[in-house]
Amino acid sequence: MTRRILLVAHPRRVEAQQFAGDVADRLHAAGLQVAVLPDAAEATILGGGSNIVTVDPADPVRGCELVCVLGGDGAILRGAALSRGTDAPLLGVNLGHVGFLAEAERERLGETVQRIVARDYVVEERMTLDVTATHDGEVIARSWALNEVTVEKAARERMIYVTLEIDGRPLSTWGCDGVVMATPTGSTAYAFSSGGPVMWPDVEAMLVVPISAHALFARPLVIGPKSALAIELVADADGTAVMWCDGSRSVELAPGARVDVCASQTPVRLARLTSWPFADRLVAKFDLSVDGWRGVARRNHGGLGRSEQA
């Protein structure tokens, strides 16, 4: 049976398509079939031949053993929407800036392709969130998120008033710019920039971070994975809101709307190429200073280079 890789890159970014063409040619030379989405079929700069196929957008991952995404975290999150719920893991190649979700860097593209061909990677499952938005008892949206679900004010000049509910009980009401509900994977994204803590990926928990809240009790909260979270927009308050899932899927919310969030039973499967500790990834991605460290690993192994940390 022919091995197939789904290759995803931004169809309107020339650099991404050039890299996609390079990867496709390398995979084709190794005897693998490369699949692309219809909107990228004409844009991808390909030198290959019959091993390039266009997938059905309704079921793009069918028959694919891996989804390879070239881009920044936004592109990788879009790739996660394709791979989630399938057996195909997701492997991100960073063409952006931080690229926290990426497993490989553009400088090691050839080595990354070799690892794909050899199936030389391990698969790690990451928690996702299930989301339901309702208004007056009617469901207005169902979605999910790998990084975070946010409820944010729709108008710059007007804050929103929300009540946080945990396990069916109200905890506090805030006037704020919004609320972030994140997974451990998303703790280094919007939640982090809003003042939340970093959670290691193997922590089973959800994170709640108020954004610019006008309240004394408005600190980040770490909630158990079996708990149920809800945000209610105060019905008699002014100000509409927007619910965002991973910063790309949005739904408008009127006063009185409710957003329920819980840990999902459907994870995202990430292909990992390295076994470096998460602390090394933080150091590399955030360019943290570790000068002066004299730990055991440094004495035994001579320290880690930047390329190794990534």
Per-residue pLDDT tens digits for 2-39: 899 999 998 778 888 889 999 999 999 999 999 999 87
Angle at 234 between CA 228 and CA 235, to 5 degrees: 120
Check whether domain 129-263 has CATH 2.60.200.30, yes or no: yes
pLDDT band at 304 (very low <50, low <70, confident <90, very high): very low
Which candidate in 22, 25, 73, 260 is catalytic?
A: 73
The full DSSP string for 154-198 is: SSTT--EEEEEEETTEEEEEEEESEEEEE-TGGGGTHHHHTTPPP
Distances (CA, A) of 245 to 47, 122, 131, 238: 37, 27, 8, 23
pLDDT for position 43: 56
Tell me if residue 73 is catalytic.
yes
Top pLDDT among 50 and 157 is at 157
Beta strands 33-36 and 4-9 are parallel
Nearest to 159 by CA among 142, 178, 145: 178
Query: According to CATH, where is 2.60.200.30 located in the chain?
Result: 129-263
Where is average pLDDT lowest: 236-250, 264-278, 292-306? 292-306
C-alpha atoms less than 13 angstroms from C-alpha of 108 in its C-beta half-sphere: 18
In sequence order, what are the residues at sequence separation of 6 or more whose Cβ sits closer than 8 angstroms to the Cβ of residue 158?
238, 239
Hey, how many other C-beta atoms are within 10 angstroms of the C-beta on 282?
A: 16
CATH fold for the domain made of 4-120: Rossmann fold (3.40.50)
Query: According to CATH, where is 3.40.50.10330 located in the chain?
Result: 4-120
- Asked if residue 172 lies in contact with residue 163, where contact means CB atoms within 8 angstroms, the answer is yes
The encoded tokens of residue 115 equal 């690892």
- Asked if residue 92 lies in contact with residue 76, where contact means CB atoms within 8 angstroms, the answer is yes
pLDDT for position 301: 46
